[in-house]
Amino acid sequence: MAAQIIDGKKIAAQVNEESRKEISMLARDHNFQPGLAVILIGEDPASQVYVNMKDRKCRELGIYSAKHVLAAATPQEEVLELIAQLNHDPKINGILVQSPPPPQIDEEQVVAAVDPAKDVDCFHPQNVGKMFIGRQDGFFPCTPYGVMVLLERSGIDPAGRHAVIVGRSNIVGKPMLALLVQKTAGANATVTCVHSRTRSLPELTRRADILIAAIGKPEFITADMIRENAVVVDVGMNRVEDAGTQRGYRLVGDVKFDEVAEKAAFITPVPGGVGPMTIAMLMHNTIKACKMQHGIKI
Amino acid sequence: MAAQIIDGKKIAAQVNEESRKEISMLARDHNFQPGLAVILIGEDPASQVYVNMKDRKCRELGIYSAKHVLAAATPQEEVLELIAQLNHDPKINGILVQSPPPPQIDEEQVVAAVDPAKDVDCFHPQNVGKMFIGRQDGFFPCTPYGVMVLLERSGIDPAGRHAVIVGRSNIVGKPMLALLVQKTAGANATVTCVHSRTRSLPELTRRADILIAAIGKPEFITADMIRENAVVVDVGMNRVEDAGTQRGYRLVGDVKFDEVAEKAAFITPVPGGVGPMTIAMLMHNTIKACKMQHGIKI
């Protein structure tokens, strides 16, 4: 195998260690403890797993964690009331509503109800806008932000390089475009976004110095679609049936790892690549929220 | 000359005619008149020209126009007070602060002070965010929106085509990226953004089915930088010295018009291309603001 593996677990552990130190300092110097409220509506098993992981990581690092589990049939107004209450709760610096909510919930309205200063997921349009125009006083969404940190800590400077993003979701593709194109250190990339409507997609992915796969199709990116020595970041996380495993499925990314790893210079594995960064950046954002709310320099 | 000229004056006149009809209907059916407040701080001659053009176009179409000219030395608080007053003025549906303001004014704070519902320039982060995530209930910034309308009314569907945007300003380059990549009719383009830090820029511009030049460099795009039969949209508006003219300068775009027009399939001239669309879309946005504020279907 030619490619150097970008070890997301290790980098996430570094970020978490830095967070832990920051939390200690906040306690020591200011007597503040950052607090995160996570709202889970319903019993989606995958959502439960994510929410429990976030809750556990908070406790591990010393962030106050408030987990609100609401019944699947909870009406919109109750969710909005809870958010209003958390917006005013001084113990809570960050609020997130686990996605996807059940069908009776209007997610757009729920997202808009969160105080932008506590919107650590960067789902509120105001924070999306701040990110896009290059302001640093909002939040960056956790997964794309995690990708930026992976690149930075692997010594990969996107400046002047061609980053090709496969996918245009609001959660990954579009914010990757926004973060990579900025006129700031660690960004400054030439950016291209390809997607379901793109003609001759492989021709464009082959031009990528940095390829970000976030299209949600198992093993979509094959070796013939990348350039020799590209940096390949796999944001995909797909379940494919596999009778040979105990669970009956295995997790694969959007990249055909084995063959792409032969050709790339750097590659993130799935799992253990981008995944662990998402929660690490959520913790980081919660600390940032706490500092901003208390007027402490970020 | 091979290229078909995209006549911005003509298309802007169509849009304005539609606006005039909408305004008549609003008056007839609802007894509403859309109102736009323009704030000019200082005496920058170019800004004065723009503000007067906007004021005149409002009157021409039947929009109530309130022009607020403040002294160059006006303190920040006075500007914020005026904005607060306009935010609450029911006669005013749109507010814009002519850019650039004098140095004592914090533009970021001024922009944030405008009620997002009246932010017809789409400078407020909340509207930028809504645009980026594909929501239709905010505003699109006037110049990029004008480019989208020029394409649409010239029968050019960006879907599946490669749009290359030269420049990454918050006013043109980035919003073009945002508008063209959306999963909506009239968009769906593969998008690339190239800029000052891009390596081998001509190689990428030559891949463009649609080239948007918004880099602010006179005649930067030459014929060898475009593909045969490309659509070339010139957002540039640069003054270059010209002793042969009465004013001592002439206006040129970012595209070397004569030679590019030989090779392109469509091209916008400067002046008379994108320019007239900006004010037409501002009028359009003001009407949209009026309708949204009154709960009328848009």
Interchain CB distance below 8 Å, B181 and A198:
no
* From B98, B118, B182, B234, the catalytic residue: B98
Strand partners, A193: A165, B191
- Give CA–CA dist B150/B221, Å, rounded: 20
* From A57, A98, A130, A209, the catalytic residue: A98
Interchain CB distance below 8 Å, A181 and B195:
yes
In a domain, A175, yes or no: yes
Q: Residues B206-235: pLDDT tens digits? A: 999 999 999 999 999 999 999 999 999 999
Interchain CB distance below 8 Å, A197 and B174:
no
- Give CA–CA dist B64/B36, Å, rounded: 6
Instruction: List the one residue out of B86, B89, B179 whose CA is nearest residue B97.
Output: B86
Q: Which of B99, B131, B132 to mutate to test the interface with A (most CBs of A within 10 A)?
A: B132
Q: Pick the residue from chain A with its C-alpha nearest to B116.
A: A126
Q: Residues A238-290: pLDDT tens digits? A: 999 999 999 999 999 999 999 999 999 999 999 999 999 999 999 999 999 99
B205 in A contact zone (CB under 8 Å): no
Location of structure tokens 């891009």: B198
**Is residue A88 domain-shared with residue A164, that is, in the same domain?**
no
Whether B7 contacts B272, CB under 8 Å: yes
In a domain, B240, yes or no: yes
Whether B27 contacts B296, CB under 8 Å: no
- Give CA–CA dist B4/B180, Å, rounded: 22
**A98 labelled catalytic:** yes
Q: Which tokens go with B96? A: 């814009």
DSSP one-letter code for A30: I
**Is residue B109 domain-shared with residue B156, that is, in the same domain?**
no
- Give CA–CA dist B278/B120, Å, rounded: 12
In a domain, A163, yes or no: yes
Interchain CB distance below 8 Å, A132 and B132:
yes
**Is residue A212 domain-shared with residue A265, that is, in the same domain?**
yes
A188 in B contact zone (CB under 8 Å): yes
| Strand spans (E) along B99-158 | none
Interchain CB distance below 8 Å, B125 and A124:
no
Going residue by residue through chain B, which has 298 residues, state the pLDDT in tens, using 9 for 90 and above: 689 999 999 999 999 999 999 999 999 999 999 999 999 999 999 999 999 999 999 999 999 999 999 999 999 999 999 999 999 999 999 999 999 999 999 999 999 999 999 999 999 999 999 999 999 999 999 999 999 999 999 999 999 999 999 999 999 999 999 999 999 999 999 999 999 999 999 999 999 999 999 999 999 999 999 999 999 999 999 999 999 999 999 999 999 999 999 999 999 999 999 999 999 999 999 999 999 999 998 8
Distance between first and last Cα of chain B: 41
B132 in A contact zone (CB under 8 Å): yes
Q: Which of A107, A133, A172, A205 to mutate to test the interface with B (most CBs of B within 10 A)?
A: A133
**Is residue B97 domain-shared with residue B164, that is, in the same domain?**
no
Q: pTM higher than 0.95 for the full model? A: yes
Provide the domain count of chain A. 2
**Is residue B98 domain-shared with residue B146, that is, in the same domain?**
no
* From B57, B115, B118, B121, the catalytic residue: B121
A197 by Cβ neighbours in 10 Å (0-12 / 13-18 / 19+) ranks as middle
Q: How many CB pairs under 8 A join A and B?
A: 116
Strand order in A94-97's β-sheet?
Answer: A64-70, A35-41, A94-97
- Give CA–CA dist B272/B172, Å, rounded: 18
In a domain, A112, yes or no: yes
Query: Residue B155: which domain range?
Result: 142-276
